[in-house]
Amino acid sequence: MPKDIIKALAKFELLGMVIDPEYGGLGTDVVTAGIAAEELARADLSCSIPVLFLVGTSWGHVIDKYGTEEAKKEIFSKSIKGEQIIGIATTESDTGSDLGNMKTKITKKGDKYVVNGEKMYISGVAEAMEYGGGHVTLARMKPELGTRGMNMFYLPLKDTPGITPTYVEDIGREAISCGGFDINNVEIPKHYLLGEENKGFYYIHEGYELARGLIALVCAGAASKALENGIAYIKERKAFGRHIGKYEGIQFKLAEHHVKIQALRQLGYKALWTYDQEIQGKASRFEVSMAIAMAKSVAPFWARDAIDDVMQWQGAFGYTKECEDQKAWRAVRSFTLAEGSSEIMKLIIARELLGKEFLAYR
Amino acid sequence: MKFIVCIKQVPDTTEVKVDPKTHTLIREGVPSILNPYDQFAVEECVRIREEIGEGSISVITMGPPQARSALMRCLAHGADEAILISDKAFAGSDTWATAYTLSHAIKKIGSFDMVFCGQQAIDGDTAQVGPEIAQQLGIPQITYVEKVSLDKTHKLTIHKQTDGGDQILEAKLPILLALLPPSSFQPEHPPMSSILKAKRKPFNIWDANILGGDKSKFGLDGSFTQVIKTYTPPSRGECEMIEDDPKEAAKKLSKILCKNEALAKR
């Protein structure tokens, strides 16, 4: 992503919204960040800028909550000004949803940690390598303890000996890079550990849940803008002697998508409101997980279906790269996978409905 | 120092289309924006207040409840207080009745030093409301103002655009200025912290009863003019562009005019 876009986000003070004002943030609630996410998606249908925003917001929040004073001052002094980025890197080549079986290891060496492994399908690798910044990362400290033996830490990428980046090309979200990196005997200072040792697996979900709530609103933003584009089109385009917006076949779809997008906004804002309530001690983590999973489980599908029909209404033009809406179509597809797959969202909902004794993979 | 800025929420004319059959404007679904001339007035007023380091800014508009968003934007730009003058009694106001209502609101606010207006609004383009407010307040006015300078002794210097070039004027307070943004003007987008702060600033809604004044001078009753119809004249024929150097273009033009008997041949 061009740096001037990141600097522009900083100028509008969008890169530290939920961060404590003591570190240069605005200290807003996450619902307000959701409004920004939705609006950014309406403006950038490729959802590249919204992804940079939601990742930085979610893991900025985690760093703010669990980071050491030294790390927070160091990281936020640059990330909020758009001089560096904050990302998330937990996925590996063969472990995405199954985080508990990741292979990357972290060991203690004096007053430092040493990390070995690899991360893959990570957003913002090129930006972190070029501009600076790093990714909130998860690695095994005590493999024998499974998910109870993982550390969450901040891993800077630029000029870090032992980091070797690789890149892959996404089918959408083209303005933000995707890739991975090998981690070969990378030493990180102790103050980059986030929270307590061995509790990283639990902390990381707080970032994921915030990101998922924001994604629901990114999907709503992109779909609502596409639907507006579609409305303008069907009011202009004529077929068989009348505007195609006069045909029931179009109107029924339009009405259904409108209802779903509005319902998605309600689900998304309810989810983020519940997250805010939990921060204030007025809701449980389980309530947050349920509300977030509900919104995220349907968001990319409802958005994709709406955008798909908008493209269909536009005929052959809808399938060209001249059509703006195809960017959104390719972008929202990513959110059935990113930050927790749709299948995992359904498992969370079922877990909350049935109880932990019905956990599918235990 | 007390500054007052009068603003208007207008349809985004870049989005307005014309009904090809009736030639009237299709306003349905057109987003509303802060009149760009007024945004320049707000930004200039905030800049001046920052330069002299004192004063408060009240921003006022007359309009429907949804005009709130235009006022909120002004608060985000740095105004201190917003007043929305909203009542069905004001519906149908022409420029004179609008100016009466706004000038009455300004008097109700109390003493003031400078009133800023945009030169005109992009929907009506009359450029009448600012001068009419000045007239009704009984204060001097300067229109076509491109730049305002106010020093700490409150000496006011104005750059005014005219057809013959810029005039540099000095004026005493109180005064009303109608501002015209220079071509280089790029509207600022307020940062998030300012948008959030705006929500905590005083926002008042005045209806006809709160405003007071002579109710026969509000709305349609107080209007000397009425808009019967707004439309774009239909195209009157084909347009031929002559692209050439001026001498050759003039020759071609005269030939065409003669051919069409628009000019008598000599």
Q: What percent of chain B is predicted at pLDDT more than 90?
A: 74
Does residue A294 lie within any of the structural domains? yes
d(CA A288, CA A350): 14
Q: Does A26 touch chain B (CB under 8 A)?
A: yes
For B130-151, how does the pLDDT look when each residue is reduced to its tens digit (9 = 90+)? 999 999 999 999 999 999 999 9
> Which one of A12, A28, A32 has the shortest CB-CB distance to B191?
A12
Does residue A5 lie within any of the structural domains? no
Centre a 10 Å sphere on the Cβ of residue A217 and count the other Cβ atoms it contains. 30
**Which residue's entry shows tokens 């404590």?**
A20
How far does B55 lie from chain A, in Å, by closest CA?
Answer: 26
Domain with A331 in it: 200-358
Does residue A204 lie within any of the structural domains? yes
Best of B26, B72, B73, B192 to mutate (most A CBs within 10 Å, chain A): B192
Question: Residue A330's pLDDT is what?
Answer: 97
Question: Residue B124's pLDDT is what?
Answer: 84
Say how many domains are in chain A.
1
Q: Does A229 touch chain B (CB under 8 A)?
A: no
> For chain A, how long is the longest CA-to-CA vector?
79
d(CA A35, CA A40): 9
Cβ-Cβ pairs closer than 8 A, A with B, add up to 17
Task: Give Cα A155 to chain centroid, integer Å.
Answer: 18
Inter-chain residue contact A28 with B196, CB threshold 8 Å: yes
Closest chain A residue to B190, measured at CA: A12
d(CA B120, CA B132): 12
Question: Residue A30's pLDDT is what?
Answer: 98
Each of the 362 residues of chain A gets a pLDDT tens digit; together they read 999 999 999 999 999 999 999 999 999 999 999 999 999 999 999 999 999 999 999 999 999 999 999 999 999 999 999 999 999 999 999 888 888 889 999 999 999 999 999 999 999 999 999 999 999 999 999 999 999 999 999 999 999 999 999 999 999 999 999 999 999 999 999 999 999 999 999 999 999 999 999 999 999 999 999 999 999 999 999 999 999 999 999 999 999 999 999 999 999 999 999 999 999 999 999 999 999 999 999 999 999 999 999 999 999 999 999 999 999 999 999 999 999 999 999 999 999 999 989 987 76
pTM of the shown model: 0.85
Best of A26, A225, A227, A228 to mutate (most B CBs within 10 Å, chain B): A26
Question: Residue B24's pLDDT is what?
Answer: 66
Closest chain A residue to B19, measured at CA: A236
Question: Residue A97's pLDDT is what?
Answer: 87
For the cut 90, the answer to whether the pLDDT of residue B258 exceeds it is no
Per the structure block, which two tokens stand in for A61?
A: 């929040």
For the cut 70, the answer to whether the pLDDT of residue B109 exceeds it is yes
Task: Give Cα B58 to chain centroid, integer Å.
Answer: 16
ipTM of this predicted structure: 0.79
* CATH code, domain with A218: 1.20.140.10
Does residue A22 lie within any of the structural domains? no
How far does A193 lie from chain B, in Å, by closest CA?
Answer: 30
Mean pLDDT to the nearest integer, B111-117: 97
* Residue B29 pLDDT grade (very low, low, confident, very high; cuts 50, 70, 90): confident
Does residue A3 lie within any of the structural domains? no
Alpha helices in chain B (DSSP H): 36-52, 68-77, 95-109, 129-137, 192-198, 208-211, 246-259
Q: What is the dihedral of CA A114, A117, A121, A127, to 10 degrees?
A: 40
Q: Which residues of B touch A11 (CB under 8 A)?
A: 191
Question: Residue B266's pLDDT is what?
Answer: 55
Which residues face A180 on adjacent strands? A166
Question: Residue A293's pLDDT is what?
Answer: 98
Question: Residue B231's pLDDT is what?
Answer: 75
* Residue B23 pLDDT grade (very low, low, confident, very high; cuts 50, 70, 90): low
d(CA A203, CA A206): 6
For the cut 70, the answer to whether the pLDDT of residue B207 exceeds it is yes
Mean pLDDT to the nearest integer, B51-65: 96
What integer best gives the mean pLDDT of chain B?
91
Question: Residue B118's pLDDT is what?
Answer: 97
* Residue B241 pLDDT grade (very low, low, confident, very high; cuts 50, 70, 90): confident
C-beta separation of B71 from B199 below 8 A:
no
Does residue A138 lie within any of the structural domains? no
C-beta separation of B150 from B134 below 8 A:
no
Collect all residues with Cβ–Cβ distance below 8 Å to B117 and sequence separation of at least 6. B5, B6, B38, B41, B129, B130, B133, B176, B177, B178, B179
Domains of chain B: 2-217 (3.40.50.620), 235-266 (no CATH)
How far does B193 lie from chain A, in Å, by closest CA?
Answer: 7
Does residue A57 lie within any of the structural domains? no
Nearest to A335 by CA among A303, A357, A359: A303
Per the structure block, which two tokens stand in for A355?
A: 């109880």
Does residue A268 lie within any of the structural domains? yes
